[in-house]
A and B are shown apart, each in its own frame.
Chain A
Amino acid sequence: MNNARVSGSLRNRLVLTLLGGAALLALLLVLAVRSHAIQVAQEGQDNILLASATSILDSAAIRDGSVQVDIPYAAFSMLSTPADDRLFYAVFQDGQFLSGYAGLELAQAGGDLGPEFRAGHLQGAPVRIIEASRTIIGTEGRRDIQLLLAQTQDALSETLDRISRDAALFGGGFFLLAALLSLAATKATIGPLSRLTASVTRRGPQDLRPFQSAVPREMAPLVTSLNSLMGRLNQTLSQSEDFIAEAAHRVRTPLATVRSRAEATLQRVEKEENREAVRAMIKAIDESSRAAGQLLDHAMITFRADHLERNEIDLAVLVRELTERLAPIADMRDLSLHVKGDPRVQMTGDQILLQNALRNLIDNAMKYGPAESVIEITVTAAPHPQVTIRDHGPGFPADEIETLTSRFKRGRNAAHTIGSGLGLTIALDVATAHGGAIALHNHPEGGACVTLSF
């Protein structure tokens, strides 16, 4: 049997895609939450910085021609943080440094351009800087006062760290949940496929009924094709069986007519040479009908061997039934069929094929066994189910044992016996189909021995 070529796995592909998607989504989620948190936190700091700067600028006034900036207490207290962030300020008048921390530098050229935020570094720490200005018109004309206010971001980064941690935890949880969901989804998706596979595999070789159970819409075309394939196979199979049966009928019916006429003629004809001719005719008819029968049997067996029915059968019972059926023929030739061995020999196999193989072997033994002799049939269960058929005839020619099982080969000493030579081939084919073997040898005390073992 041909095994399917395997390229990847639907399950793995689906799981990987879903897990990859979930991971990407979780990462995006974490990044989005974090960037949003940064933005919100920054806006908060900016607002406070703005309020503080505004209140400081509000307190600026011109007294006696010079600019006075009174920094209100509230302006700093509103900026106090749990992390004790440091504050820097610098006041400029018309771009000239007036007071404060000299490390802060004006970025704007001047003029009232509204408050502006920027990031910077002071004393090795990241800071947020607001630059705001106010124009005061006094008696000596207008003065532009610029205020730079900077705050370190320790509290902010602590908050951000916390938010990032929470976001990462959330993202991880999301990923885990998504992974579980994707596994469940994969199982649910692959499930019907696995069930279909199982129900195809479980079927016996003769079971070609269409599948009835409901499948997901996407699988319906597959099942439809499968059903139509099986339908066609079933049709081919039954056509072949019918054909073989019909062919047998067509061949055998006229042969039966001719044979009957010949036999009737033989009853009337008195002259010995005419009788001899009629006898030769009957013999030829028997030979051709047997050959036709065995060819058709062989065709049937070759055909069935591909679709072997495997049932629990008792080989011993089968052999007994068969010998009972063959007893009248044996009786006719004054032969006895003796069955001995184990009473029960269980095996799995195709009953019809096994019957056919054994019938051919016993037929052979009956052909070659001399009148008033015994044909011994031994059935044993251990170590393998086995049937040995021994006659008391001339035995196999020693140099032909090997080639005897080939199709159409007949032993040299078979010249006077009817047979198409297919009997052993049929038995060999049946044995092979059951994973068994056939062995030919001559009994030390004379007679041919055929052993069929499974």
Chain B
Amino acid sequence: MKFLLVEDNPDLAQAVVSRLRLDGHVIDHAEKLDDASAFVSTGEYDLILLDIMLPDGDGRDFLKQQRARGLDTPVIVLTARSQVSDRVGSLDLGADDYLTKPFDHAELEARCRAVLRRRSGSSKTRVELGGIVFDPVAGSLSVRGTPVTLRNRELRLLELFLNARGQVFSKQKLADRLFSYENDVSENAIEVYVGRLRKHLEHSDLTITTMRGLGYRLDQNE
């Protein structure tokens, strides 16, 4: 998927870009509304992440203009202002969702996925591999043609493994990606999720290998 991030804070932008790239997305980053207009007029995006307070203007005005010009791309507004006062305004202007800073990147991903699912439901992100067909945006998995219902964390886990095939993930790294930092997560919980995903993938050519003391790795059977 191709995203456009309009955000003037370099640290935040860097973090968002690197995080979304981890998920296999392509991100263009604009620091100002001028740049954003140029990006929008030359490229096609699946999703725009738009900050409201930018050095050369208000993101909401930009959104209004772009919508008036017929831009149909889903937009998630990022705001640091109070939720009470901002939410109505941005949704009325044609935003699909909004997120209050500071945000949990897991929540950003969840919201992106929800918006994409609602708006496009496209199969751009579909992965076919080792007897499975997986679409992380639609949240659908089928193994040898049989649909499998995945819970969100199982889905995220599979997405993580598929985005970095052959890489070893420690339990802690997985916990950091699957859970927000609100709850203390036991390593046990990770084992439970890995166990479930293994069961889902039983009939495919994909195996989650336990690397003792290191973590897990997704392998494709020969």
Contact = CB atoms under 8 A, between A and B. Distances in A.
Interface of A: 241, 244-246, 248-249, 252-253, 255-261, 263-264, 266-267, 272, 275, 279, 282-283, 285-286, 289, 293, 296-297, 300-301, 304, 325, 327-329, 331-334, 352, 355-356, 367, 371-372, 416-418
Interface stretch (B56-64, B121-129, B179-187): B179-187
Contact of B82 (A245, A258, A285, A372): A245
Contact of B101 (A252, A279, A371): A252
A296 B82 contact: yes
A257 B82 contact: no
Given A263-B105, A289-B102, A257 B12 contact: yes
Contacts of B111: 328
B104 interface: yes
A10 B76 CA distance: 60
Contacts, number: 120
Given A252-B101, A329-B107, A260 B85 contact: no
Given A260-B102, A289-B102, A297 B181 contact: no
Interface string B36-71: 000000000000000001000000000000000000
Nearest to A301: B84
Interface residues of B, number: 42
Given A256-B101, A267-B18, A417-B183, 15 more contacts: A246-B81, A256-B80, A259-B102, A264-B19, A267-B22, A279-B181, A286-B104, A286-B180, A286-B182, A289-B102, A293-B83, A327-B114, A328-B97, A334-B151, A372-B151
Contacts of B106: 332
Contact of A286 (B83, B88, B113, B181): B181
A244 B85 contact: yes
A241 to B, nearest CB: 6
Nearest to A299: B82
Nearest to A416: B184
Nearest to B110: A328
A320 to B, nearest CB: 15
Contact of B53 (A249, A286, A355): A249
Nearest to A283: B181
Contacts of A293: 82-83, 100
B182 A260 contact: no
Given A285-B102, A329-B107, A253 B80 contact: yes
- Listed from nearest, the 4 A-B pairs whose CB atoms lie closest are A260-B15, A256-B102, A256-B101, A328-B110
Question: Per DSSP, are chain B's interface residues mostly helix, strand or loop, or mixed?
Answer: helix
Interface in B98-154: 100-107, 110-111, 113-114, 151-153
B186 to A, nearest CB: 11
A325 B97 contact: yes
B172 A245 contact: no
Which among A246, A296, A327, A331 has the greatest number of chain B C-beta atoms within 10 A?
A331
Interface in B179-214: 180-184
Contacts of A289: 102
A328 B84 contact: no
A64 B83 CA distance: 135
A418 B15 contact: no
Contact of B172 (A275, A327, A328): A275
B82 A334 contact: no
Nearest to A268: B18
B86 interface: yes
Contacts of A261: 11, 15
A252 B184 contact: no
B104 to A, nearest CB: 7
